[in-house]
Structure 1
């Protein structure tokens, strides 16, 4: 037996690590996934493929968080109404106010998780919530 063909322990371990890395990379989600909220923010937990993802692993769209407020500026559409009197002629109204959304992520909510690449750890963007029709 030629001992020059037997790899060293470090070479053998390097091959094992490469193999393990390849297997792990095959299991990393490559596209958007559907998850289900287990616990709401601020201690968010989302289950995806039987894996629990916690708040530390998630970036979340602002509007999905409790008490999200946005400022709305614009105007309503032109409409006429009422009895036809002058005060009900075709008109519009300015809009300049804050809207506070009270909907948030609740246990059982289906969410869209998008993996974020180029990080040392696996992170996800929680982009939206939805329902299965």
Structure 2
């Protein structure tokens, strides 16, 4: 009979703990059933609603992104006018700061496929919520 100090028993217990902690549901593909703000996603025969979803904010309609920077370049050479020297082929230097805003207005459609990553609960096995990261498209048309 083996006792509690048996090294093999300790290794088996450690492997069991590692296996239980490592079991997690994997990424899956969901289908948009209704769009935000009352989003619903079909997943594995269930309808998942907003209280169980974490949505990538870049995919929310009305999300605004701001960009700014500095551009150094030049226009392409171009001639103009009636052949006068003042209108000979020339370019213009560009050395300017810029800023821009992009507002997303058309992001989700019913039927879109999305990547869903389960967020496991404290038992590290049960998916309690999902992160929705991006819209997916197959290039073969399926």
Q: Return the TM-score normalized by structure 1.
A: 0.68
Query: Which whole-Å CA distance do the structure 2 matches of 1:37 and 1:129 have between them?
Result: 10
Matching residue within 20, 38, 41 for 1:43? 38
The residue number in structure 2 matching 1:110 is 113
Q: Return the TM-score normalized by structure 2.
A: 0.64
1:24-49 deviations in whole A, cap 9, x for unaligned? xxxx9711111110100011000112
Runs of 4+ in 1 over 6 A off after TM superposition: none
CA separation of 1:76 and 1:49: change in aligned 2, threshold 3 A = farther
- Checking the alignment, whether the CA contact within 8 Å between 1:81 and 1:90 is kept in structure 2 is no
1:131 equivalent to 2:137? Answer yes
- Name the stretch that deviates more: 113-122 or 123-132: 113-122
Give 1:1-133 correspondences, 5 Å limit: 30-76=25-71, 78-83=73-78, 84-85=89-90, 88-118=91-121, 122-133=128-139
In the TM superposition, what is the alpha-carbon distance from 1:98 to its structure 2 partner?
1.8
SS at match of 2:108: coil
Q: Kindly tell me the number of residue pairs found equivalent between the two proteins.
A: 105
Greater C-alpha radius of gyration: 2
Q: Please state which structure has a larger fraction of its residues in strand.
A: 2
